[in-house]
Structure 1
């Protein structure tokens, strides 16, 4: 019986992942929510970890304590992220608090969560950590025609890529697998909220449920030989140059 934890689970890809895993009656599916109660619209067999706020410095302890007494996790997927638009104009420009939030949620909190899960024995040899990143974090793939701006969104994903690489080195002796993935361009409230819905059709954006199914199937094939690498399961090729 596999046990899975999805962090950032109430909407978009996270919600689709929870429902995909929970559709297997043999799986134990844990999911996080910032609220104190279970959200509506999910299968009854999902085990919710409440009050999980990735902007809180105690998030790792809080999450790990709610798993006390449970069996070690087979899969941890950290999907949480924030995207607030930025530009470099004189009247607007970057916002300090928005930048702190995006960096904290995308690339700082995941490290603290995993630190506590590992040291509280919530992970074991063979456990798989999936860090949901984005090709937005690739310096190599960023081109002039796409324009600048959105600094913290892009840079926090680049930081997450490095966090994943370093974690894979630190956790190799424990046999814990770390993978960083770009799940594909999706038709979500987040991409719509920042105006990217105008690119959905030309960009081949898919529903979160489609991306979730691909990611779950790909995770099943993941082994230690792929640890520390960046993968794009839905891409035409595997983007191994994203650390450049």
Structure 2
């Protein structure tokens, strides 16, 4: 299948690779990034695939998001993929938590994806595939937490998972499926060079999940390999 996908955080890493893979398959790609002037790789991708449309969007700038929503009014979006996120400071063990950074991470990782869903819900509902997906993380799984720590990033992704679950219920009548995804430990700026898989490996598997998703899979949390992760 092919259609239109909107991806946030496309300036590098997983977002850029997903934009590339979907473009290669003939999809129209609304590729959002915070600063188009610095997104040289994304600009190069557009030169190779004209169906890639770079869009300036800081997902925590809600006035900018609303303006983009108005600009895209009436445009069907088959897949809305909320990929943009912020890890925050590392080493956030007990007694070392920065409250302001915690708020910043929650804004980027939890509130912004919800606002994207609210802003572009009509676009997704008007499409054929009708899918929203949130890039979560296995560290947001409460059942999987055996090491403690990581309060800031963990809690932002756990909260995001709850948003996914509620959206899957609230948007079911509109035929929209909503998923949470774990991309694996990926060799990106966030994952670091010691990560287990490349961005290309992760996104190839994620793309398969996205294209094959339907209402039967809505409200669930999936690893990049297709296996389900407990909440």
Same fold by TM (over 0.5)?
Answer: yes
Compared CA separation, residues 139 and 34, structure 1 to 2 (3 A): same
Distance in 1 between residues matched to 2:94 and 2:215, nearest whole Å: 45
- In the aligned structure 1, how far is the partner of 2:117 from the partner of 2:107? 14
Aligned to 1:135: 138
Question: Structure 1 length as normaliser, TM-score?
Answer: 0.84
Structure 1 residue 233: Cα displacement: 3.1
Equivalent pairs, count: 221
Q: Distance in 2 between matches of 1:56 and 1:86?
A: 28
Post-superposition shift, 1:5?
Answer: 0.6
2:80 to 69, 76, 79: 76
Q: Which runs of 5+ in 2 are unaligned?
A: none
| Counterpart-to-counterpart distance in 2, 1:111 and 1:134 | 16
Relative to structure 1, is the Cα distance of residues 87 and 72 closer, same or farther in structure 2, using a 3 angstrom cutoff? same
1:86 to partner: Cα distance: 4.1
State whether structure 2 residue 20 is matched by structure 1 residue 30: no
- CA distance, structure 2, for counterparts of residue 59 and residue 106 of structure 1: 17
Structure with more helix by fraction = 2
Distance of 2:218 and 2:141 partners within structure 1: 18
Counterpart in the other structure of 1:105: 108
**How far has the Cα of 1:185 moved from its partner?**
1.2
Does the 8 A contact of 2:82 with 2:116 survive in 1?
Answer: no
2-side partners of 1:109 and 1:156: how far apart? 11
Structure-2 change in CA distance of 1:180 and 1:37 (3 Å): same
Shift, 1:89, TM fit: 6.2
- Tell whether 2:9 aligns with 1:8: yes
Distance in 1 (CA, whole Å) between partners of 2:205 and 2:104 is: 29
In structure 1, what is the Cα distance between the partners aligned to 2:13 and 2:91?
22
Report the counterpart of residue 209 of structure 2 in structure 1. Answer: 218
How far apart are residue 87 of structure 1 and its match? 2.8
The answer for unaligned runs of 5 or more in structure 1 is none
**Residues 1-244 of structure 1: matches in 2 within 5 Å?**
1-24=2-25, 26-37=26-37, 39-41=39-41, 42-44=45-47, 45=50, 46-50=52-56, 52-69=57-74, 71-84=75-88, 85-88=90-93, 93-118=96-121, 121-124=122-125, 126-143=129-146, 146-148=147-149, 150-192=150-192, 197-198=193-194, 200=195, 205-234=196-225, 237-239=227-229, 241-242=230-231
TM-score relative to the length of structure 2: 0.88
Contact in 2 for aligned 1:9/1:15 (Cα 8 Å):
yes
Runs of 4+ in 1 over 6 A off after TM superposition: none
Conserved 8 A contact 1:19-1:43? no
- Asked if 2 retains the 8 angstrom alpha-carbon contact of 1:54 and 1:109, the reply is yes
Deviation at 1:38, TM superposition (A): 7.3
How far apart are the structure 1 equivalents of 2:29 and 2:69? Answer: 15
